[in-house]
Chain A
Amino acid sequence: MARPATLIAGAALTALTLGPVVAVILRAGGLSSLGPSHWAPGDAAALRFTLWQAFLSAGCSVLLAVPVARALVRQRFPGRGALVTVMGAPFILPVIVAVMGLIAVFGRAGLVNDALGGLGLPKVDIYGLHGVVLAHVFFNLPLAVRMFLNALQAVPGERLRLAASLGLTRGAMFRLVDLPALLRVAPGAFVVIFVICLTSFAVALTLGGGPRATTVELAIYQAMRFDFDLGRAASLGLVQLAMGLGAGLVALRVARDDGFGVGRDRAALRRDGAGWVRGPDLGWIAVAALFLLVPLGAVVARGLPGLALLGADTIRAAGHSVAVASVSTALCMAWAMALAHRRGEWLALAAITVSPLVLGTGLFLMLRPFVNPFAMALPVTALVNALMGLPFALRIITPQAEALEKDFGRLRASLGLTHWAWLRLVWVPRLRRPLGFAAGLVAALAMGDLGVIALFADPDRATLPLQVYRLMGAYQMEAAAGAALLLLGLSLGAFVLLDRGGRLAEA
């Protein structure tokens, strides 16, 4: 039997997702306007580019993750555990911060081009398709590595012992043991990353753009911000919606392994890591580690001097970001507490197929007759971030909430515990660790989000990621680097604070 809180939370989630969707569909002139005959010039190109960059990003991430994951599962070295943990960091890293780091390494005046110039070689350009793909691989390679690592570590020890006792060659070991495990996860990993990249907005905003590198999400933004063509924004929103739903359905069919959880990282008994293979393995690990860590190091190195240049606007934007993250986290956790069961998780997953920009466009259309939507920039950003964080929060909380219900639900019923007593005495104390982890994740994601705020914000209402973007656009690169470092500190700080809080207070 559903409780009133669950019903209210479910109804609110449905209304806040479907309402904007309906607004977008109506404004676009109904579902029939999905046909190509209604498209503006450039829309087909945006759709093609979106699919192509998502395909390349997912393909590169998955292909590169295979040797890195195999190397990590075969080799033992000091700092291996720390490296696997750091692999989780890009997930909570603000996109704009990562982009700053990637520009510092691969940009026109970056480390790579300096080295190429020193060797007399032509420079590479980070803007355009390859920049977008590079950034997506930066974010999603660790996710793919974690998924493959989990799969390889889940190979039963008996099979590894059997392989050792049979004296299998490395090739046979790969074909018979590793490949089946990798193939089980690979389609899911590909589809999950493909879906993530379909809705990627901030990367396209900063590294893409122009007629040849515009995603549908970016086109929605351009239609709203530059042309203020709400009808076009809505019809693009419809395209994005159809694409998101289609990909979401495929993902639900294909993706089986969870990519968000913390890997078990059990030490497996493997004997195929010795000999000549150790060199290439450590090489792969070093390349992956450098690829992930050097941009982060560059953000810190370039940001430190920039901290002195933080202006009043940036400080005010940081305050807005902290407020948005706080409200998003509180709202998301309240939602998650009411929906932490399997059906709730389905509801939230259905909601995530609607992209933030589509939601933003819909909310803009809904608010416009009543208030000035630009004045609502911060509340809308907080709301959309709470919605976007919900599937992750539920993914983290639901398994343990269900286990708690399974273990103690009957005792609770036989004692006749009130709902409030159960929540206060049992649920929250027993789930503090996942609650803290989920809250940390949502806070960090909300703090670093550069999505719907870009649609709504006027100069007075920037969040910190938007402020970084504006400083970059104004070529104030040092100030932007300082603001990016501040943003990095706030995101990681929020995550660590809440995650640790949950662990320390655990009953």
Chain B
Amino acid sequence: MLRLETIRVAMEGGTLDADLALAPGRRVAVLGPSGAGKSTLLDVIAGFRPPLEGHVSWQGRDLTPLGPEARPVSILFQDANLFPHLDLARNLGLALRPDGRRPGPEEIQRIEGALRRVGLDGYARRRPGTLSGGQQSRAALARVLLMARPVLLLDEPFAALGPGLKRDMLGVVREVAAALGALTVLVTHDPEDARAFAQEVVLVADGLVHPPVATEAFFAVPPRAFREYMGL
């Protein structure tokens, strides 16, 4: 269980409060207006931003004092998920060798296997600049597979992709998450993403992270803050 206990975190224009629990293996969408604190929430979970108060824990273990590298978390950002001057083998190799040493034959096999699973068979020697946006996202997801951490955070990584490609990518995320059995938290401002992907929705609005609600129930009776955000 990922627990955020009486969290209060500073953000631009005020604070954000959160108190919630997310179960392993679930797919959760975080919805809310721009600037409400969706990315701040992910930053707290990932360890990029220390909370003013409260604790973050995973399966009972307190993560609050740990840095991002020591947490059971992998994250995909909006952009800059791959180093542009390194080929995919080196980029993915960093998941296995944070000391930056060249991956060995066995590691190369694992890297190629991960690339195969995201539909990039034979791309190990390609640099990110030679790939399309969708292929770059797939490569970053292959690295998530290699890191094999039980919590996957997605900070609008497909915002720049067209609707069709975005749907495909959410499909790949679903497969990767299922393969890892990972709790997946997707930040998005598009309710359609939440509908297509998530089992639960967390609304962030007015300085508060609301408790998760089953996706169908959320859209059946949208909360007031969400209706205002959507202009309904």
| B and A form one assembly | yes
Chain A positions near chain B (C-beta within 8 angstroms): 407-408, 410-411, 413-418, 420-422, 424-426, 429-430, 507
B228 at the interface (CB under 8 A from A): no
| Contact A417 to B48, CB < 8 A, known contacts A411-B80, A425-B86 | no
Docked Cα-Cα span, A425 to B46, in Å, equals 24
Could you name 27 residue pairs across A and B whose Cβ atoms are closer than 8 Å?
A408-B80, A410-B75, A410-B77, A411-B80, A413-B48, A413-B68, A413-B69, A414-B68, A414-B73, A414-B74, A414-B75, A415-B147, A416-B69, A416-B98, A417-B69, A417-B94, A418-B100, A420-B99, A420-B100, A421-B98, A424-B100, A425-B86, A425-B94, A425-B100, A426-B83, A426-B85, A430-B85
Docked Cα-Cα span, A163 to B116, in Å, equals 59
| Contact A418 to B95, CB < 8 A, known contacts A411-B80, A413-B68 | no
Q: Contact check, A416 vs B68: say whether CB atoms are below 8 A apart.
A: yes
Q: Contact check, A414 vs B100: say whether CB atoms are below 8 A apart.
A: no
Q: Contact check, A415 vs B69: say whether CB atoms are below 8 A apart.
A: yes
Range for the number of chain B residues in contact with chain A: 20 to 34
Shortest CB-to-CB span from A120 to chain B, Å, is: 67
Chain A residues, Cβ within 8 Å of B90: 425
Docked Cα-Cα span, A422 to B74, in Å, equals 18
Chain B residues, Cβ within 8 Å of A411: 77, 80-81, 83
A-B contact count (CB 8 A): 60
The 6 closest A-B pairs by CB, nearest first: A421-B100, A416-B69, A507-B85, A413-B68, A416-B98, A425-B100
Docked Cα-Cα span, A76 to B94, in Å, equals 50
Docked Cα-Cα span, A418 to B97, in Å, equals 9
Q: Who on chain A is nearest to B85 by CB? A: A507
Given contacts A413-B67, A430-B83, 14 further A-B contacts (CB under 8 A): A408-B83, A410-B75, A411-B80, A413-B69, A414-B46, A414-B73, A416-B68, A416-B70, A417-B94, A420-B100, A421-B98, A424-B100, A425-B86, A425-B100
Docked Cα-Cα span, A415 to B144, in Å, equals 10
Chain B residues, Cβ within 8 Å of A418: 98-100
Chain A residues, Cβ within 8 Å of B83: 408, 411, 425-426, 430
Docked Cα-Cα span, A420 to B97, in Å, equals 12
Docked Cα-Cα span, A156 to B220, in Å, equals 51
Q: Who on chain A is nearest to B74 by CB? A: A414
Q: Who on chain B is nearest to A413 by CB? A: B68
Chain A residues, Cβ within 8 Å of B67: 413, 416
Docked Cα-Cα span, A280 to B80, in Å, equals 51
Chain A residues, Cβ within 8 Å of B99: 418, 420-421
